[in-house]
Structures are given as structure tokens and as C-alpha cells.
Amino acid sequence: MGVVQGEAREECGVFGVWAPKEDVSKLTYFGLFALQHRGQEGAGIAVGDKENIVVFKDTGLVSQVFDETVLGALQGDVAIGHTRYSTAGGNSWDNVQPMFRTSPNGTDVALAHNGNLVNYAELQAEAIEKKLVPADGVQGQGSSSDTAVVSALLADLIREEHTLLDACEQLLPRIHGAFCFMITDGHTLYAARDPHGVRPLSLGRLEEGWVVASETCALDIVGAAFVREIEPGELIWIDETGVHSKRYAETTRAHCVFEYVYVARPDSVIEGQTVNNSRIEIGRRLARVNPVEGDLVMPVPESGTPAAIGYAEESGIPFKQGLMKNAYVGRTFIQPSDTLRQLGLRLKLNPVRQVIEGKKLIVVDDSIVRGNTQRKLIRMLREAGAAEVHVRIASPPVKWPCFYGIDFASPGELIANHGRGGSDEEIAESIRTMIGADSLAFVPIDDIVAASHQDAENLCAACFTGHYPLGLPEGNPNADLVRRMKKGAEA
């Protein structure tokens, strides 16, 4: 859902720039702005000037954390930035990135991470055994994130003649899961992508420098020309001699299919395919496989808009905006009163009565996770005079949690698991009853794959299928529950 943070939440965004003749802190600031959709809980920038690394970070949106004074104090040749929401570790200042460590030989290291690690428990145990982190927390004041553990282990490997590059080459093959790392020692910019390429990561060229970012939209906003995607299992480093590359692991691709459904910005390009085009194509396919009579097609903004456009184009039913979104409602520090809290969704969305009154609506949304938002939305549309509300979802039912960087609920909280049916059609009918729609249908997974223009074996669709190509993490209660569910199904 693109409406309320309580549904599906994105992972993180990372950005790095090596450009000694540029204002790297401001470039990073604008890059993080472009990646704000990937996380709204915290933001940080680390800048290196060959002698020191300075890190500034805080909870909140990018615009809340930084101002001209702060950016003016962050001067250097290389910078990395991060915009975050919590997947491993709580939402506190200690867990905001980039993380900072000093190695045994005095080298400063800053690290930012997008993703989730499968062998986090193993790495944490190693860091505790080496006394790099306290047993009751991780790093400094008690960060509990996997990023803090990786930072500690990486810095510890930089000893005597060993460099940060040596440390990366030693540690990266031992890290399992979904990750894009951005790292600097103040001299060089390093970037690494996991061997499955779960999350996107791209390289861009400035006139006199280089940029690496989670999505190509961040390259666009800073005026960097897209060069190529960082390959799965690839480590690159950038310094005054140019861009260098090394494969540190064999690859088995498993790109996250949900990037096409919801996570990535529509103007980003992944594997040569514009995300917006993929979403429009998903909408067209949704109209073909699940048509319904209606007076107008309307999206749940903003993430449902491209699929709704595709649905309208394919069905020939007019597309109209029947819901107005308040663009200025993000993370707020002002809590509404009980009376205002009951209004809930209206803080972000408000129906246009003149558009929807008396009409049969086809409401297109990107996904349905817990169903709370859709239930409130349908009630709101009916109160505004809608004659019928037919819901069309531009993804399959979300039946399984994600352990690779997207904050889906536990299996029991997912609305797709609340009914008795096992097929998508039976699940849709069960959900339809629960949320009060006149009809509800999902797009099949095969159509999502086709719209991505990738081979099915190169995609991770675990949240829809329950097949986890990277395996399940140890010591995770939800992962243990999934294992029990799978054993029960096999039995």
C-alpha cells in the first residue's frame, strides 16, 4: 500500500558520491530526497576529506534532518548517505545510518546498508565473541541493527597492512542475504551488491565524479548520466584512478519482484525496464484477466496510479482521480486528538464526491497486506455516494512475510491468510467479504513476471509464493513460524 505506513513499508535507500570538485554533501542530500520513498524514519550523511570522516544523522525525514548550516559543515571529497526505515533494529537514533567505526590501525569507516541479512545471528555472535559489540546490544549506545554488526566486523579486519578493500574482500563472501552496501574510508567510495541482486543498485557519471544509488531516479536528480547497474556479487571502488570492479561471489539472481509492484519510484529503471511501464502493463493484464463493468477507473494514489492507467486503457473505461492525496502528510511529530484520530485515512486521502457519487467504481491498488486501509477506504467511498466499489489489486495475494528488506506483517497478520480458501480466487472472495467490496480480484504472478520483462527464475516472489531463494534467517520468530507452516503443509 502506498497510503499508510501500517501496510507494506519499503526498505532503505543508499547513495554515494566520489567527486572532489563538487559539493558532495549537497549532492547526497538531493540524492536522498529522490530516495525518500524507500524509508522515512531516519536519514544520515557521512563525508570524508582524506583525513577524517564526519557523520551527521537523525530520526525524521531528509528535510527535517538537514539544513544549509549542517550541509555547509559537511565538506569533503566523498560522501555516502542513507534514508531508513527499520527492518532489523528499532527506530532509534542509534540505528540511524551511516554507521561509523574506527579500525585497529586507526582507519575510519562509514557504512550504509539497504536490505536484510539471513545470517545476522551468526555474524552478531561472532562480533560479540570478539568483543566488538556488547552482548546486550550492538555498537555504541546499543544499536541492534545488522548494519552495526557488519560495520564492526569490517573495521576489525583493517589491521596493519590490511586495507578497507582487503577487509571487504574477506567479509563480503561470508555475508548472506539481501544487501547493497555503501562504504567509505574518507578516500575511496566502495559499493557492493549481494550475489542474488535482490535490491537494485546503479552507477552514474558526473562531469568530474561518480555516483552510486539505489535507484536511477537519484542519479537523475543530481544530473548524473546512467552508466550501468552494479552486478549481483560485484564490489566496486572509486578513487582518483577511476572505477574498479571485482566479483567476490558466484551469482544466482533473485531480483525482488515487489520493486516493480510498489517499492521503486515509477521513473526509475531496473534491468533496462522503466518501472512505470511495468506497472501500466500490469494494469493492462489485470483488466484482461479480471474485467468488471464500471463507470470509471480510479487509483489509490500514488502507487496505484500507473496500474489504474493501464486498466483504463485496456478496458476502455474512463480513468479519473476520485481520491485526493495530501502531499504534505508524511511522518508527523504532532499526534491528533482522539476525535481527529478517528478520521484516520482522511488525513492522507479525501474522496471527491462530485466524481464518485452514484458511480460504479473500479478502484485499483498496488497490493493488499493487512487490509485495514482498504476496509476504511471502501467505507469512505460508500459514504461519499459510490454506487458500487470493485477492487482490483495489481499484485497477487501477499501470503508470506519478507525477510529480505520489506516490512510485511507476520503470516497471521496478513489478510490473505485469514480465509479458508487456498486459491487466489477463494482468497479474493474471502477478502472481499472482510473489506466490504462488491468484488475483488488479483493479478496472477505470471502477469507480474511478464510485465517485468525478466525470467521467472531470476526473480524473488517469496511474499507471494512462499519460495525463499536466499533461505530463511535463523533466530527469527516469523521465520520459525514459516518453517512450521511449510512442514505442516508437507505433512
Please identify every residue annotated as catalytic: 12
C-alpha cell at 73: 559543515
- Using DSSP's 3-state secondary structure scheme, residue 68 falls into helix
Among candidate residues 40, 49, 41, the one with its CA nearest the CA of residue 19: 49
CA–CA separation, 85 vs 407, rounded Å?
Answer: 9
Edge-first strand listing for the sheet containing 234-239? 99-102, 108-117, 177-184, 189-193, 234-239, 242-247
Whether residue 256 is annotated as binding a ligand: the answer is yes
Cα R_g (the chain), whole angstroms: 23
User: What is the separation of C-alpha 429 from the centre of its chain, rounded to a whole number of angstroms?
Assistant: 29
C-alpha cell at 32: 536522498
C-alpha cell at 421: 480458501
CA–CA separation, 288 vs 282, rounded Å?
Answer: 10
Q: For the chain, what is the largest distance between any 2 Cα atoms, rounded to a whole number of angstroms?
A: 75
Amino acid letter, 197? G
Whether residue 180 is annotated as binding a ligand: the answer is no
- What is the CB neighbour count within 10 angstroms for residue 254? 24
Whether residue 168 is annotated as binding a ligand: the answer is no
CA–CA separation, 134 vs 296, rounded Å?
Answer: 58
C-alpha cell at 355: 466524481
Phi, psi at 455, each rounded to 5°:
-75, 145
CA–CA separation, 262 vs 388, rounded Å?
Answer: 26
CA–CA separation, 9 vs 40, rounded Å?
Answer: 10
Whether residue 145 is annotated as binding a ligand: the answer is no
Among candidate residues 9, 190, 42, 198, the one with its CA nearest the CA of residue 118: 198
- What is the CB neighbour count within 10 angstroms for residue 247? 12
Q: Beta strands of 271-404 (E only): which ranges?
A: 273-274, 296-299, 323-325, 349-351, 360-365, 388-393
Strand 269-270 to 225-229 pairing: unpaired
Residues 12, 228, 34, 374, CA torsion sign: negative
CA–CA separation, 299 vs 288, rounded Å?
Answer: 17
Whether residue 217 is annotated as binding a ligand: the answer is no
Whether residue 315 is annotated as binding a ligand: the answer is no
Annotated binding-site members: 256, 303, 365-366, 402, 460, 463
- Binding site for [4Fe-4S] cluster, residues? 256, 402, 460, 463
Binding-site residues for Mg(2+), in ranges, read 303, 365-366
